[in-house]
């Protein structure tokens, strides 16, 4: 399949950039969690870079919330992200579902990391904290320890008991099979994983993990929907790929939110337009996306690490 024929297929379902900014942003329930989240979430990783001024962070966060985004994702490892988001959220904290992460194997360190995140984000609780990329065996050599009462999950359980967090989640970039034992504990309420029409044919979370998440009514958050960074922008930044990957991800059963790591207000407005105009891919468009996705997957390879 050629890029030109793929672009023609995508153009048949154009995003409609001229859609009014006053149109409501679609929302979906977060699995069993009684919260209606905007289908577009604000990923705050890039906002934490040292070269991004606080004024830009304020504009992205505040304009995003005013336009209907109510799901914000950050992490302690995203440089200055938590501090900057905490400042930008002043007066708006109660309007968002705020998520951060931990990446340590010990219960005590988990509680320390969460308290530090609360301080930086200037809030008394987090709506969810994820175990950050549970599929990394260098970070979590044994799942048994990570999921034990004295390990990472034990720390999150204690933080929830103390009221520091409301819900427990996990993220996974690779090795989807590593997610299943965690879901089987019955203690995870959100899952954030790599989802796009290319990496379906590299990691395959769609077939290997999403059915279990749906069965357990675990809310699914899609990340890396634009394929991650590449020279000059995201891997799936062309107009045809951008539209296709978002329509593909939002069309997956069980997906509540697609996270995009905005760098500028303009990037956020592009995402807002896509969310307001969303409709699932038609069968022929899905077929075209699959053909192109397989071609690109062969070229990309396992860019995030092993698939098994």
Look at residue 80 and give its three-state secondary structure: coil
Nearest to 204 by CA among 73, 294, 282, 299: 294
Q: What pLDDT, in 10s, does the model give residues 159-211?
A: 999 999 999 999 999 999 999 999 999 999 999 999 999 999 999 999 999 99
User: Can you state the angle between helices 239-250 and 265-276, rounded to 10 degrees?
Assistant: 50
Compute mean pLDDT per 10 residues along the chain, 308 residues long, and list them.
52 50 90 98 97 98 98 98 98 98 97 98 98 97 96 98 98 98 98 98 98 98 96 93 98 98 97 98 98 98 97
What does the pLDDT read at residue 231? 87
Domains of the chain, earliest start first: 3-300 (3.20.20.100)
- H and E: helices and strands count for the chain: 12, 12
What does the pLDDT read at residue 233? 87
Expressed in angstroms, the distance from the first to the final Cα of the chain is 28
């Amino acid at each position: 399949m050629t890029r030109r024929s793929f672009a023609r297929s995508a153009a048949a379902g154009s995003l409609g950039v001229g859609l009014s900014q006053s149109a409501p942003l679609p929302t979906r329930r977060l699995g069993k969690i009684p919260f209606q989240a905007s289908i577009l979430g604000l990923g705050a990783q890039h906002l934490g870079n040292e070269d991004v001024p606080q004024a830009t962070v304020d504009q992205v966060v505040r304009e995003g919330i005013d336009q209907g985004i109510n799901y914000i994702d950050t992490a302690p490892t995203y440089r200055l992200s938590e501090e900057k988001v905490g400042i930008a959220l002043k007066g708006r904290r109660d309007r968002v579902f705020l998520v951060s992460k931990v990446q340590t194997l010990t219960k005590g360190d988990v509680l320390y990391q969460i308290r530090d995140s609360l301080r930086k984000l200037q809030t008394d609780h987090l709506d969810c904290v994820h175990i950050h990329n549970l599929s990394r065996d260098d970070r979590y050599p044994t799942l048994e320890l990570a999921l034990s009462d004295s390990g990472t999950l034990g720390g999150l359980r204690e933080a929830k008991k103390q009221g520091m967090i409301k819900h427990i989640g996990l993220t996974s970039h690779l090795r989807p099979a590593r997610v299943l034992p965690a879901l089987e504990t019955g203690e995870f309420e959100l899952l954030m994983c790599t989802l796009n029409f290319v990496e379906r044919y590299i990691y395959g979370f769609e077939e290997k993990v999403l059915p279990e998440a749906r069965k357990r009514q675990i809310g699914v958050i899609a990340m890396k929907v634009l394929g991650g960074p590449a020279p000059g922008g995201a891997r799936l930044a062309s107009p045809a790929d951008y539209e296709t990957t978002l329509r593909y991800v939002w069309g997956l059963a069980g997906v509540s939110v697609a996270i995009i790591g905005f760098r500028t207000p303009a990037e956020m407005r592009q995402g807002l337009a896509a969310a307001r105009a969303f409709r699932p891919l038609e069968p022929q468009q899905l077929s075209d996306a699959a053909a192109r996705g397989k071609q690109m997957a062969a070229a990309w390879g396992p860019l995030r690490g092993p698939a098994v």
